[in-house]
Amino acid sequence: MDLDIFEFYDKMEQSNIMLSFKGEITSDLLTSILQIMEAKLDNFEEKSKTKKRVYNVLVECLQNLYHHVDEVAPVDDRSKRARTAIFMIGKDEEMYNIMTGNYIITKNIPPLTEKMDRINKMDKDQLKALYKEILNNDSFSEKGGGGLGLVDIARRTGQKLGYNFKLIDDEYSFFSLDIKISHIN
């Protein structure tokens, strides 16, 4: 394996990464990550408000991964790769930074982009109205998604959703999401 571990370490150190994971996303894994992060947030002695915000956003980000790796069919070799995801959390002087990456089906990019762009254009009151509208809509998905997760993240963080898509082939793309949460106010 042609992999320089120090290079990995150094990059993560420079980006102030405190926890990262790459692999299959299971319910038990999420429980463990959340426990570790809760202990870390306690250690940092964050204000209760900040701690709760980071924790809530973390839950939404991780559960987005959990629910959406399912959509990429786990049949052949390629989709086995597609079931895994990456997650990282870092902290600098002003912000917590939560980054996730997972495969998605390429044809699902346009509606997702449209949704995120729409959210990114909204102010606090518009996000609140959209949240309530989706919440009170009976056609909410079985998985509990319905796009409420991203609206909730935008509402809690007050920041734009950062995102990127990398085209892998005709069928698959890699979706990365970059969320920032202030810990200074």
Partner 1 sequence: MDKISIEPTPKTPLINFDPDKGHIEIRGRSIPENSLEFYKELLEWLDEYGNNPQAKTNVEVQLEYFNTSSSKCILDVFKALEGIHKKGGTEMVIHWYYEEDDEDMLEAGGDYEAIVTVPFEKIAIEEE
Q: How far is the CB of 11 from partner 1 (least distance, A)?
A: 31
CA distance 6 to 12: 10
Instruction: Locate 39 and state its tokens.
Output: 């202990």
Stretch that binds partner 1, among 9-17, 60-68, 104-112, 161-169 (CB under 8 A): 60-68
Interface positions, 143-172, toward partner 1 (CB under 8 A): 143-146, 148-149, 152, 156
Task: Tell me if 48 contacts partner 1 by CB under 8 A.
Answer: yes
Residue among 94, 117, 96 nearest 165 (CA) = 117
Strand partners, 24: 84
Residue 95 C-alpha from the chain's centroid: 15
Burial code (b: 16+ CB inside 10 Å, e: under 16) for 135-149 equals eeeeeeeeeeeebbb
CB 101 within 8 A of CB 64: no
Nearer to partner 1, 69 or 172 (CB): 69
Task: Tell me if 182 contacts partner 1 by CB under 8 A.
Answer: no
Number of residues that bind partner 1 (CB under 8 A): 32
CB 177 within 8 A of CB 161: yes
Task: Tell me if 142 contacts partner 1 by CB under 8 A.
Answer: yes
Task: Tell me if 46 contacts partner 1 by CB under 8 A.
Answer: no
Residues found near partner 1 in the complex (CB under 8 A): 27, 30-31, 34-35, 47-49, 52-53, 55-56, 59-60, 63, 66-67, 128, 131-132, 135-136, 140, 142-146, 148-149, 152, 156
